[in-house]
Amino acid sequence: GKSEEQSMVIPQVPSNIKMRRCGYCMVKQPMRAKHCQLCRHCVRRYDHHCPWIENCVGEKNHRLFIVYLSVQLVVLLWGGHAAWSGLYFEQSWDWLRHNIFLLMSFLLIVVFTIVVLLLLVSHLYLISCNTTTWEFMSHHRISYLQHSESENPFDQGVILNLWRFFC
């Protein structure tokens, strides 16, 4: 039997949708769970396998992943500021020869900052919709989303989605 808390947190599966059984672990998977080939285990509320942290992002560590991205963004902005403030500009080849390393570092930091910023913004958008990266990318292949009457059965409005995720 399910406890009251479980029935409030985990939406009920409609009767016409069969519960999936993991082909690797041979356990019944709850909705929003997926088996990760790299980690070799099932992850509740699977979002994605992150190569940066060499781990899956799921129910237990999604908030920490957002904190990680935020800290990365702050460090990159700080590094970009430090690299930019170290540059002094003159119009000569001698200047370029002496500052090429600092200039290349700044440009690399700008590229990484854009990547991390886009990743953070996209995750915040998905959180506000109460969906995961896996559900967003594979909506057409997931049985409980294919047969759903609404586009996202987990969406409870932006404010409530953000509140439940962060609080």
Q: Which amino acid is at 156?
A: Q
Mean pLDDT for the chain overall: 84
pLDDT in tens, 34-58: 999 998 889 999 999 999 889 999 9
Q: Which residue has the higher pLDDT, 73 or 6?
A: 73
| Cα angle 59, 65, 71; round to 5 | 160
Residue of 30, 61, 67 whose CA lies nearest to 47: 61
pTM value is 0.79
pLDDT in tens, 121-138: 999 999 999 999 999 998
What DSSP string describes the chain?
Answer: ---HHHHHHSPPPPTTSPPPB-TTT-SBPPTT-EEETTTTEEETT--EEETTTTEEE-TTTHHHHHHHHHHHHHHHHHHHHHHHHH----SSHHHHHHHHHHHHHHHHHHHHHHHHHHHHHHHHHHHHTT--HHHHHSTTT-HHHHT-SSS-TT---HHHHHHHHH-
Whether pLDDT at 160 is above 70: yes
What integer pLDDT is reported at residue 109 of this predicted model? Answer: 96
Whether pLDDT at 68 is above 90: yes
The arithmetic mean of pLDDT across residues 143-162, rounded, is 84
Task: For residue 139, give both structure tokens.
Answer: 């909506």
Residue of 107, 51, 65, 67 whose CA lies nearest to 83: 107
Whether pLDDT at 1 is above 50: no
> In which residue are the tokens 């995750």 written?
123
Catalytic residue numbers read 50
Percent of the chain with pLDDT over 90: 49
Q: What are the backbone dihedrals phi and psi of residue 152, each rounded to the nearest 5 degrees, phi first?
A: -135, 105
Residue of 133, 160, 154, 156 whose CA lies nearest to 12: 154
Whether pLDDT at 90 is above 70: no
Query: What is the C-alpha to C-alpha distance for residues 45 and 74, in angstroms, rounded to an integer?
Result: 27
In this structure, the strands spanning 55-57 and 34-36 are: unpaired
What integer pLDDT is reported at residue 50 of this predicted model? Answer: 92
The arithmetic mean of pLDDT across residues 141-145, rounded, is 79
What integer pLDDT is reported at residue 12 of this predicted model? Answer: 54
Whether pLDDT at 7 is above 60: no
